[in-house]
Amino acid sequence: MKGIEALDVIFKPRSIAVIGATPRKGTIGYQLLHNIIQYGFNGMVFPVNPNHKYIKSIKCHASVLSITDDVDLAIIAVPKEYVLKVAEQCGDKGVRALVIISAGFREVGGAGIEREEALGRLREKYGFRIIGPNCMGVINANPEVRMNGTFAPLEPQSGVLAIMTQSGALGVAILLSVAKLNLGLSYFVSVGNKIDVSGNDLLEYWADDDKTELIGLYLESFGEPRRFTQLAKRITKKKPVVLVKSGTTAAGAIAASSHTGHLSGLDIAVEALLQQCGVIRVSSIDEMMDLALAFVKNPVPRGNRVAVLTNAGGPGIMATDAIINQGLAISQLSDKTQESLAKMLPEESSVHNPVDMIASATPEQYERAMQYILEDDNVDAVIVIFVPPIMIEPREVVEKVTSASRRRGKPVFTVMMAEEHHYEELPRTITDAPPLYRYPESAVRALVDMNRHRVWCERPEGEVRRFAVASDIRDIVDGKKAAGGGYLRPDDVSRLLAAYGFPVCRAKIVSMSDDLADAAEYVGYPLVLKVFGNDIIHKSDFGGVVVGIKDAQELEEARSNVKRSLQRAEVVDQAQGLMVQEMASAGKEVILGMATDPKFGPLLMFGMGGKYVEIIKDINFRVMPVTDVDAWEMVKGIKSYPILEGVRGDQGVDIEFIVESIQRLAQLVIDFPSIVELDINPVIVTPARESCRVVDARIRVAGE
Ligand code: ADP
Ligand code: MG
């Protein structure tokens, strides 16, 4: 059976064999069988173990082959040496799916790798769907199925959250937090070594599953990032996807010689990809749970204006700071709201946002204040803070806040600084209470992420533009590729970029000793003289670039200076020649680039350019495909964007030109997969597109 429906044999089996079940408490084999029975699996279960006749009053089979009924799913928890044999028996029995808990496969190396390969061959032979090996199992909490095929000592509630984890140990931690927060699950899957079913398969399965409204992922690595991108783009607009991904920095960095290569790294690719497909990345399981709680209990805000209601100054200020620092806005409450609040609150209160009702605030005052604030059209979300004074019961406040928030269609986040037992008790007993947090920052963080989700849902798809390209340039790249690859000559770089519509500088290549008159006449003064060579990455580092040359005499002097500088830096033999180049008009320097990641494919980069790019690092990356919307976001997303727009009487530059250039670069990169590194630094951008110029570029082609 192929396709996604095939996963039903794992998640909706009619019968399960637990192979390796034992009567000994405290073992995985015991807990698995126990969980299936205890959770109330709505199907048949068959313990399998040759050493026992019955377990927990149920007949135990010596092998799966001695079961007379059909078996849909086998959960396997036998010592690693027996897994292959048991799997083979499952195949002969006609079992369609395996969840392999046993460890001792690829993750241990050596013989484990061979064992996993042999398991792969059995999968081919019998057409199983497999979860694992080396995992902690699966749960389908749907009341019609009720399958707890894990060995976690818990009984998860049924709900709308689907969880996929690549780490079994963290899986247990996640299940514990889910239980503690009173959240309900639709599915839980620990994928282990992913010999068959991957995170992507599960995403696809959950995309159309009507029980699942929210997806939480814990990932250590991406199997197929491109498929993930496609899937996630489709799903995230319907169901929020929250991801915890451990970051890789230096280890995954791409070693390459140019700017883009130096600045990129695996985590940058991950970050770019997640942004482009609307996945919300959080940094810890805690944060994931905070956000899951928010999504499950709250509607998504319709805007970013937040009101804060508190009975204590300090936490109110903390909340307000967090709101502003994280890019949300503090609502301007309407006059009507402020008047209503003033009428009911003591004089010492503050009726401006943040609304401080002071310590005497009663549950009733919380209720009425919430009503006024939620009615205000200037408010999209409310953070309500309660620090319990001695006379007031937290429960009463939460009850009043809950009744005021009902059917308002606006998200409310309760922050309560109270005794520990309340955090579990209140959500359990007041089931429709707004989500409850311990600190203002965690509430605000969850709200920020919800708002990001709203922005993503409202964001247009965008399209990938195609531009006309002069046709005679394929040879440049293909020829280099056939010749073993390497950096293109500067004149070839210019031709290639010009064919894709980049405004390259007029230039002539000359040798170190050629007469310069013709070149200078062709280019025209003022001009620039620079050295070039494959190994010379930063020409200006040793005086290899002279700008603003006004006449023949200055040009000769510049050449002598460049030669002298090369000698001083002892790089004379690296110089392959000189370039006499048109001098671009003054403008802002930006960088456009591309690096390839073995898994993620080409990464495009945009940022503030020039000599300081590595220091300032104000850059943005995107994976393919890059749409017009992506290109705009890339440009608007850098910190220096206001500089491009023009500040303090400074004229802004042609931003549309930049956005279009990014899309042209994307097309070039797609058209030539053999280009593995490309760096345009700088493009000098000016207020008018006619005078924008590419002044320096490097392109490296991979060999055949
Ligand atoms: P490199 O990056 O190898 O040091 P560049 O060719 O990028 O060499 O030149 C360094 C700097 O010199 C550029 O960032 C730019 O400020 C200036 N420059 C270089 N070529 C030109 C040009 N044709 N017109 C105007 N400025 C230029
Ligand atoms: Mg440069």
- pLDDT of 641-699, one tens digit each? 999 999 888 889 999 999 999 999 999 999 999 999 999 999 999 999 999 999 999 99
Neighbours of 459 (CB within 10 A): 12
Share of the chain above pLDDT 70, in %: 96
Q: Is the pLDDT of residue 258 over 50?
A: no
Q: State the Cα–Cα distance between residues 401 and 371, nearest whole angstrom.
A: 9
Residue 406 tokens read as: 């009902």
Centre of ligand 1 to C-alpha 47, Å, is 74
**Ligand with the closest atom to the CA of 585:** 1
Contacts of 476 (CB under 8 A, 6+ apart): 488, 492, 495, 496
Q: Whose CA is nearest to atom 25 of ligand 1?
A: 584
**Ligand with the closest atom to the CA of 541:** 1
- Tell me the three-class secondary structure of 508-559, residue by residue: EEECCCCCCHHHHHHHCCCEEEEEECCCCCCHHHHCCEEEEECCHHHHHHHH
Residue listed under structure tokens 């003054």? 586
Contacts of 570 (CB under 8 A, 6+ apart): none
Q: Is the pLDDT of residue 248 over 70?
A: no
Ligand 1: lining residues by beta carbon, under 6 Å = 505, 528, 530, 538-540, 545, 547, 581-584, 589, 610-611, 681-682, 684, 695-696
- For residues 44-52, give the mean pLDDT: 98
Q: State the Cα–Cα distance between residues 578 and 532, nearest whole angstrom.
A: 6
583 CA: nearest ligand 1 atom: 24
Centre of ligand 1 to C-alpha 622, Å, is 25
Segment among 60-69, 242-251, 448-457 with least mean pLDDT: 242-251
The domain limits of the chain are 4-212, 461-505+585-704, 506-582
Centre of ligand 2 to C-alpha 262, Å, is 14
Centre of ligand 2 to C-alpha 667, Å, is 22
> What is the per-residue pLDDT across 505-547, written as a single tens digit (0 to 9) for each?
999 999 998 899 999 999 999 999 999 998 888 898 888 999 9
Q: State the Cα–Cα distance between residues 505 and 682, nearest whole angstrom.
A: 12
Q: State the Cα–Cα distance between residues 83 and 19, nearest whole angstrom.
A: 10
pLDDT of res. 263: 45
**Ligand with the closest atom to the CA of 530:** 1
Q: Whose CA is nearest to atom 20 of ligand 1?
A: 695
Residue 100 DSSP SS3: strand
**Ligand with the closest atom to the CA of 537:** 1
How are beta strands 73-76 and 15-19 bridged, if at all? parallel
Q: Is the peptide bond before 354 cis (omega within 30 degrees of 0)?
A: yes
Q: Is the pLDDT of residue 605 over 80?
A: yes
CATH topology classification for 461-505+585-704? D-amino Acid Aminotransferase; Chain A, domain 1 (3.30.470)
Mutate to test the pocket of ligand 1, among 545, 555, 574 (most ligand atoms within 8 A of CB): 545
Residue listed under structure tokens 């499952």? 90
Among residues 157, 55, 35, 145, the alpha carbon closest in space to that of 101 is found at 35
In the structure, what pLDDT confidence band is assigned to residue 250 with cuts at 50, 70 and 90? very low
Centre of ligand 1 to C-alpha 547, Å, is 8
528 CA: nearest ligand 1 atom: 23
Neighbours of 314 (CB within 10 A): 12
Task: Name the average pLDDT for the chain.
Answer: 92
pLDDT of res. 596: 85
Neighbours of 42 (CB within 10 A): 14
Q: Whose CA is nearest to atom 21 of ligand 1?
A: 695
Long-range CB contacts (within 8 A, 24+) of 526-530: 526/550, 526/583, 527/555, 527/580, 527/581, 527/582, 527/583, 528/580, 528/581, 528/582, 528/583, 528/695, 529/555, 529/558, 529/559, 529/562, 529/578, 529/579, 529/580, 529/581, 530/562, 530/578, 530/579, 530/581
Segment among 205-209, 596-600, 619-623 with least mean pLDDT: 596-600
Centre of ligand 2 to C-alpha 346, Å, is 65
- For residues 281-287, give the mean pLDDT: 93
**Ligand with the closest atom to the CA of 694:** 1
Mutate to test the pocket of ligand 1, among 576, 695, 698 (most ligand atoms within 8 A of CB): 695
Q: Whose CA is nearest to atom 8 of ligand 1?
A: 539
Do 416 and 386 contact (CB within 8 A), yes or no? Answer: yes
- For residues 419-447, give the mean pLDDT: 94
539 CA: nearest ligand 1 atom: 3
What burial class does residue 443 get, using C-beta atoms within 10 Å of its C-beta: 0-12 exposed, 13-18 middle, 19+ buried? buried
Centre of ligand 1 to C-alpha 527, Å, is 11
Determine what percent of the chain falls in helix, strand and coil, rounding each to the nearest 5. 40, 20, 40
- DSSP letter for 5, please: G
Centre of ligand 2 to C-alpha 585, Å, is 16
- For residues 318-328, give the mean pLDDT: 95
681 CA: nearest ligand 1 atom: 7
Among residues 166, 160, 88, 156, the alpha carbon closest in space to that of 131 is found at 166
Pick one of 3.30.1490.20, 3.40.50.11750, 3.60.110.10, 3.50.50.60 as the CATH number of 506-582: 3.30.1490.20
Do 650 and 579 contact (CB within 8 A), yes or no? Answer: no
- For residues 208-218, give the mean pLDDT: 96
Segment among 16-25, 77-86, 112-121, 534-543 with least mean pLDDT: 534-543
**Ligand with the closest atom to the CA of 684:** 1
Do 439 and 447 contact (CB within 8 A), yes or no? Answer: no
pLDDT of res. 243: 95
pLDDT of res. 271: 83
Centre of ligand 2 to C-alpha 458, Å, is 38
Centre of ligand 1 to C-alpha 533, Å, is 15
527 CA: nearest ligand 1 atom: 23
Centre of ligand 2 to C-alpha 410, Å, is 51
537 CA: nearest ligand 1 atom: 3
Q: What are phi and psi of 610, to 5 degrees?
A: 90, -160
Number of H helices, E strands in the chain: 24, 31
- Tell me the three-class secondary structure of 225-255, residue by residue: HHHHHHHHHHHCCCCCEEEEECCCCHHHCCC
Centre of ligand 2 to C-alpha 666, Å, is 20
Rounded to the nearest 5 degrees, what angle is found at the Cα of 658, between the Cα atoms of 657 and 661? 85
Strand partners, 487: 700
Q: Whose CA is nearest to atom 7 of ligand 1?
A: 696
pLDDT of res. 585: 96
Centre of ligand 1 to C-alpha 703, Å, is 29
Centre of ligand 1 to C-alpha 477, Å, is 24
What burial class does residue 454 get, using C-beta atoms within 10 Å of its C-beta: 0-12 exposed, 13-18 middle, 19+ buried? middle
pLDDT of res. 3: 52
541 CA: nearest ligand 1 atom: 4
- For residues 212-231, give the mean pLDDT: 90
Segment among 133-142, 197-206, 606-615 with least mean pLDDT: 606-615
Q: State the Cα–Cα distance between residues 164 and 174, nearest whole angstrom.
A: 10
According to the per-residue pLDDT averaged within each range, which of 81-95, 240-254, 273-287, 536-550 is highest?
81-95
609 CA: nearest ligand 1 atom: 14
610 CA: nearest ligand 1 atom: 14
584 CA: nearest ligand 1 atom: 24
Type of residue found at 373: I
**Ligand with the closest atom to the CA of 611:** 1
Identical fold between 4-212 and 461-505+585-704: no
Among residues 455, 390, 384, 462, the alpha carbon closest in space to that of 419 is found at 390
Share of the chain above pLDDT 90, in %: 83
545 CA: nearest ligand 1 atom: 9
Neighbours of 573 (CB within 10 A): 9
- For residues 115-125, give the mean pLDDT: 97
Q: State the Cα–Cα distance between residues 35 and 32, nearest whole angstrom.
A: 5
Q: Is the pLDDT of residue 1 over 70?
A: no
pLDDT of res. 147: 98
Mutate to test the pocket of ligand 1, among 540, 565, 616 (most ligand atoms within 8 A of CB): 540
Q: Whose CA is nearest to atom 22 of ligand 1?
A: 583
Centre of ligand 2 to C-alpha 271, Å, is 26
Considering only the top CATH level, what class is 4-212? alpha beta
What burial class does residue 248 get, using C-beta atoms within 10 Å of its C-beta: 0-12 exposed, 13-18 middle, 19+ buried? middle
Centre of ligand 2 to C-alpha 680, Å, is 7
**Ligand with the closest atom to the CA of 524:** 1
540 CA: nearest ligand 1 atom: 4
Among residues 624, 601, 605, the alpha carbon closest in space to that of 233 is found at 624
Q: Is the pLDDT of residue 153 over 50?
A: yes
pLDDT of res. 253: 37
In the structure, what pLDDT confidence band is assigned to residue 249 with cuts at 50, 70 and 90? very low
